[in-house]
Copies of this chain bind each other. A is one copy, B any other.
């Protein structure tokens, strides 16, 4: 084992939050406290944006209660950003901030853009001879990172969606005579991982239960087939529940929600999304009533319905990042590895940041049934273990209680920086 690298650590969060990204933060904090070579535990506010502006807080000053509460708090407690480091001066500034605060360990939780940023920071530090260990922590409801079996955040979003679909199905079954078609729009700009997850609302051995039809970005959308699919379900069932990913694309490869005929019922062309578009198709072509739900940010913030498995793994990934860095690893992201046994087990591994940064994991096409609108047993085998267990969120006065960081600012050492 290499000589321990003594210095401070910095953790930051990036991209869209998930309901478990703060569990990873708690994992980093708790694990960092175990290692004497880590002197201070700093948090960077708003991802790289705050690092550029030297906005650091002292995480060791937070109470143990607060750190424990982070494990069930949605959003990103440190704040996040979608800022992309581009200019050489940006990267220089990051290293300048790191040097000013003796940051020797950098942990960055995010998706592939964020891991790309971490990779570039890591490589620049090496080139400059600045001793720095950089470990990425996977985070995305989109589940599209390569080299990891799945991503923290995914299990919780599909548990919430499956629960919601199952509940709405009860409502629709009761109202079958009135509301014939229900459309639930879920996130997923480039891949159908999230929409596919809605299929967990039914067991694979109940093919006729809701959701009846799932439309994925992976399957080119045909309005004619869609109308036919609905008619077929309505021959068999008293209602039809449809789940659609927001990134649905037509046969020409364009997003249906931004193509010409996606105008909503009120004529505002840019309004509405894939769900409203499908609702319009049903009402215009079949003359029957359809309803739509757009879960939007509610789905990625739904801590009250998070998966305990996902939550545990997010925490584990945070801990593993610190352990790996202490062990001398750098320029890697923590991955989740699934055991081969029938009983689900998950361990952490590591993969090069560059590999994560440049890849996108697609939903395997052979997990989609031939009908194009449902998932097969391979998907169930993959996804079902990820939604097991319910996170217990404390409620006070009827609503959940979430962590609020006191945010003790670390004194700035440098001149302000214009971003």
A residues at B contact (CB < 8 Å): 13, 16-17, 19, 46, 49, 73-83, 159, 162-164, 166-179, 182, 184, 200-201, 203, 257, 259-260, 262, 264-266, 268, 270-273, 276-277, 279-280, 283, 289, 291-298, 300-305, 307, 384, 387-390, 395, 397-400, 402
> Are A294 and B294 in contact, with the CB atoms below 8 A?
yes
Known contacts A46-B177, A164-B302: A170-B75 contact under CB 8 Å: yes
Which B residue sits closest to A173, measured CB to CB?
A: B75
Cα distance, A196 to B272, chains bound together (Å): 25
Which B residue sits closest to A303, measured CB to CB?
A: B167
> Are B400 and A384 in contact, with the CB atoms below 8 A?
no
Cα distance, A384 to B395, chains bound together (Å): 13
> Are A305 and B307 in contact, with the CB atoms below 8 A?
no
| Top-10 shortest CB links A-B | A75-B170, A387-B398, A293-B296, A76-B174, A167-B301, A75-B174, A171-B301, A294-B294, A271-B276, A74-B170
A113 to chain B, nearest CB (A): 13
A21 to chain B, nearest CB (A): 9
Q: Which B residues are in CB contact (< 8 Å) with A265?
A: 259-260, 273
Q: Which B residues are in CB contact (< 8 Å) with A159?
A: 398-399
17 A-B pairs (CB sep. < 8 Å): A73-B170, A76-B171, A79-B176, A80-B174, A159-B398, A167-B304, A168-B297, A171-B297, A200-B398, A259-B265, A266-B276, A272-B292, A276-B276, A291-B297, A293-B296, A293-B297, A305-B305
A64 to chain B, nearest CB (A): 20
Known contacts A177-B81, A271-B279, A294-B294: A400-B163 contact under CB 8 Å: yes
Which of B164, B174, B301, B389 meets A168, CB within 8 Å? Answer: B301
A240 to chain B, nearest CB (A): 14
Cα distance, A279 to B260, chains bound together (Å): 10
> Are B80 and A168 in contact, with the CB atoms below 8 A?
no
Known contacts A175-B16, A293-B296, A298-B293: A399-B276 contact under CB 8 Å: no
Central interface residue in A17, A289, A388, by most chain B CB within 10 Å: A17
A200 to chain B, nearest CB (A): 6
> Are B301 and A203 in contact, with the CB atoms below 8 A?
no
Known: A16-B171, A259-B265, A262-B283. 11 other contacts (CB 8 A): A75-B173, A76-B174, A76-B175, A80-B175, A166-B402, A167-B304, A168-B298, A203-B397, A265-B273, A272-B292, A276-B276
A169 to chain B, nearest CB (A): 8
Q: Which B residues are in CB contact (< 8 Å) with A166?
A: 399-400, 402
Q: Which B residues are in CB contact (< 8 Å) with A399?
A: 159, 162-163, 166, 200-201, 387
Which B residue sits closest to A276, measured CB to CB?
A: B271
A277 to chain B, nearest CB (A): 7
Which B residue sits closest to A309, measured CB to CB?
A: B398
Cα distance, A264 to B402, chains bound together (Å): 35
Q: Which B residues are in CB contact (< 8 Å) with A77?
A: 174
A163 to chain B, nearest CB (A): 6
Cα distance, A16 to B172, chains bound together (Å): 10
Q: Which B residues are in CB contact (< 8 Å) with A168?
A: 296-298, 301
Known contacts A75-B173, A297-B293: A398-B302 contact under CB 8 Å: no
> Are A81 and B301 in contact, with the CB atoms below 8 A?
no
